[in-house]
Amino acid sequence: MTRLKGRDTHMYGEIRLYSGSSCPVLAQEISDYLGVPLSGRDLIRFPNENQFCRLHASARGQDVYVIQSTASPVNDNLMELLIMLQTLRLDSVGRLTSVVPYLCYSRSDKKDQPRVPIAARLVADMIEIAGSDRYMTLDLHAGQIQGFFNIPGDVLTAFHILSAHFQELRDDMKDPVVVTADLGFAKKGRNFAAKLDMPIAFIEKRRKSNETKAEAVGVIGDVRGRDVIIVDDEVDTAGSVTQAFEIVKKQGARDVHLSFVHAVLSDPAFERLSKADFKDIVTTNTVHIPQDKVLPNMTILSIAPLLAEVILRAHEGRSVGEMFNE
């Protein structure tokens, strides 16, 4: 049953949902939640790797949402998003919103050495230039990326979804403690721990030379004899979280759980996660995980109800902050 029945559609016409090719399952879940069918479009890749988009029907004057994550293949998915946005803008839609559950290049958020780009700013500029009036995304790696956009947006978090999952498991856990994979995630980690009313500990990293990555060397806090939840915003190659697993185990931790929002999971992430003896791995579907890559101890929580509710509130001009008592 549609959640829009009997509601005013406002100045932008009706909600229209378009899905890119990166997260069709998530887009369908959003569609089902809202009771709004996905609008038809053709996405074509020519032999020369150029991409093409054609709408099945006009969306002129409508309130349009394009759902496309920009994980691997990153540049193909990003270009597909931009082409879809321009196609819809040229069709004279009323308002155009980019719904990007995972925003690529978010680690390139500053010049941390000479003669390097700030690619996250470039991505924000391209989304705006392609025609987007607004954007939605989740759990940016760096909060300052919000300032790269000159258009309004909703930067959401899925950590309340993850914390609610662990709240249900809490009674079966022994003296649980939240551990952040590095000190850079300390603030979000504290919020996650506070939500669960658990203490927090931190993995300490040190860089042995200018040429090597920082390595986990110890844990700041007490984990001995306790169940541990290692938390991070995204897992790429899984090096940091598997190092964190080894450190807390050496310090006497009992069961170790892993929780993160964005399952980027570049090689050799699956191999590393398979070898690590995590009690469970809890993530979300901001990035599509093929069924053959879903590990036996992996739980994937859907962000579709969150995004669908925010789309509905944006369409109706209602507060998004009220969803989180803000």
Burial of 274 (0-12, 13-18, 19+ CB in 10 A): middle
Residues 133 and 22 in one domain: yes
Q: Which of 205, 208, 279, 293 is catalytic?
A: 205
Identify the helix (H) or strand (E) that includes residue 83: helix 74-90
207: three-class secondary structure by DSSP: coil
The answer as to whether 3 is a domain residue is no
For 114-131, write each residue's pLDDT tens digit: 999 999 999 999 999 999
Tell which residue, 250, 248, 296, has the closest CA to residue 274: 296
Residues 261 and 287 in one domain: yes
pLDDT band at 212 (very low <50, low <70, confident <90, very high): very low
- Domain residues for the domain of 173 are 159-301
- Respond yes or no: is residue 205 known to be catalytic: yes
Residues 320 and 261 in one domain: no
Cα–Cα dist 197/177, whole Å: 9
Distances (CA, A) of 304 to 25, 128, 233, 283: 10, 24, 18, 13
For 92-111, write each residue's pLDDT tens digit: 999 999 999 999 999 999 99
The answer as to whether 265 is a domain residue is yes
pLDDT band at 151 (very low <50, low <70, confident <90, very high): very high
Query: Does residue 11 carry a pLDDT above 80?
Result: no
For 69-84, write each residue's pLDDT tens digit: 999 999 999 999 999 9
Length of the chain, please? 326
CB atoms within 10 A of CB 237: 15
For 219-274, write each residue's pLDDT tens digit: 999 999 999 999 999 999 999 999 999 999 999 999 999 999 999 999 999 999 99
Query: Does residue 324 carry a pLDDT above 90?
Result: no
**Average predicted confidence (pLDDT) for the chain:** 93
Residues 224 and 238 in one domain: yes
How many distinct structural domains can be found in the chain? 2
User: Who has greater pLDDT, 1 or 43?
Assistant: 43
The listed range with the strongest mean pLDDT (12-16, 109-113, 130-134, 287-291) is 130-134
Q: What pTM was estimated for this model as a whole?
A: 0.93
Query: Does residue 45 carry a pLDDT above 90?
Result: yes
Cα–Cα dist 222/208, whole Å: 25
Residues 320 and 277 in one domain: no
- pLDDT score recorded for residue 51: 97
The answer as to whether 9 is a domain residue is no
Q: What is the CATH number of the domain that holds 239?
A: 3.40.50.2020
pLDDT band at 91 (very low <50, low <70, confident <90, very high): very high
Residues 173 and 296 in one domain: yes
pLDDT band at 1 (very low <50, low <70, confident <90, very high): very low
Lowest-confidence range among 11-15, 36-40, 79-83, 189-193? Answer: 11-15
Three-state secondary structure string covering 115-164? CCCCHHHHHHHHHHHCCCCEEEEECCCCHHHHHHCCCCEEEECCHHHHHH
Residues 61 and 93 in one domain: yes
| DSSP at 93 | B
- pLDDT score recorded for residue 2: 55
- pLDDT score recorded for residue 204: 86
pLDDT band at 186 (very low <50, low <70, confident <90, very high): confident
pLDDT band at 297 (very low <50, low <70, confident <90, very high): very high
- pLDDT score recorded for residue 112: 85
Residues 77 and 192 in one domain: no
301: three-class secondary structure by DSSP: strand
Distances (CA, A) of 311 to 135, 144, 277, 305: 10, 23, 38, 10
Residues 239 and 253 in one domain: yes
